[in-house]
Amino acid sequence: MAAPDTREHRSPPEARGERIDQFLATVFTDLTRSRIRGLIDDGHVLVDGRPVKAAMRLRGGELLSLHVPAPVAASPQAEELPLTVLHEDKDLVVVDKAAGMVVHPGAGHASGTLVNALLHRVKDLAGVGGELRPGIVHRLDKDTTGCLVVAKNEQALVALQKSFKGREVTKTYLALVHGVPPAEGRIETLYGRHPVNRQRFTGKVREGKPAITVYRVLEVFDGAALVEVDLLTGRTHQIRVHLTEAGHPLLGDTLYGAGRKPKGEAGTAQERMGRQALHAWKLAFAHPRTGKALSLEAALPEDFTAALTLLRGPQAPEPEPASKAKAKAKKAPARKKAAAPKKAPARKKAAPKKRAAATTSRKR
């Protein structure tokens, strides 16, 4: 547990006119601006010995005192739940999230979440936001499996958030989709909530945040394909939305692909999954304290592997190069089968002269 901490700083003349919460966020970079606002609201920030409001404007020359209390116990309860840890050190932990596990407690999910499991598993939390809880840097949907990094302290949380925001983190997913997309593609759109169904998101908006998804087809089956996806941005449901709007929703996605009922082995594989076929396969980033490169990989879960086995069939010849996938997309796709890899499917390196590609870009 982190000890209480009191810090002082004298504002320079050039800070005149700045809001105190904005100025303190530039001075104490290990604290988020929202955390600093909370400390101000709780009376833990003094200006020349007096409490102030977050909107107060500095004159320059004031003595600023900021007190960070010791973190209190988190409101979520620690629970002993199954949890696979891929990496852990004093600043962070990377887990392989299981299907069906919600990341954070919320409406309808007061317990059984990843946060509850981490509170039991991690014994050296230093506190985030004034509570002894793990710092959630990014999220995975309830039914998405794979790599997820969590901060143990405020400094690591701030640094990791900056890395994610600055697109300095490599996030690679594996997905099973309906149909056969072009061999590779880049989908770049504005992104926001669906105007009618507020539970959904869409890349067909006139105003929104930029969203970029890059994919490569790894294997082609009868009515389905295995794709490797890189997220260059991290919008909610981004892979599910972009691939759906490109005509290839994920197998088992009941929100975005509910109307698609594949036949044959693809249909059997979808029933075997029982959830959206999306796995956060690899995660690579610089360590927030040391700067050392970290690269983690989560093995495919049993249900995803079983679905692949069904799609590949009992006798699997060498996999087809992804570069031929577009030719397959022009006619009814024939099943291509491949022997299962030791860990997870690897992208074929074959690169013929004529390479099929697809690029989608919508800016309105």
Whether 141 is catalytic = yes
Report the 3 state secondary structure along the chain: CCCCEEEEEECCHHHCCCEHHHHHHHHCCCCCHHHHHHHHHCCCEEECCEECCCCCECCCCCEEEEEECCCEECCCCCCCCCCEEEEECCCEEEEEECCCCCCCCECCECCCCHHHHHHHHCCCCCEECCEECCEECCCCCCCCEEEEEEECEHHHHHHHHHHHHCCCCEEEEEEEEECCCCCEEEEEEEEEECCCCCCCEECCCCCCEEEEEEEEEEEECCCEEEEEEEECCCCCCHHHHHHHHCCCCECCCCCCCCCCCCCHHHHHHHHHHCCCCEEEEEEEEECCCCCCEEEEECCCCHHHHHHHHHHHCCCCCCCCCHHHHHHHHCCCCCCCCCCCCCCCCCCCCCCCCCCCCEEEEECC
CA angle 325, 260, 310 (to 5 degrees): 60
In the set 21, 96, 141, 222, the catalytic residue is 141
Show which residues are catalytic: 141
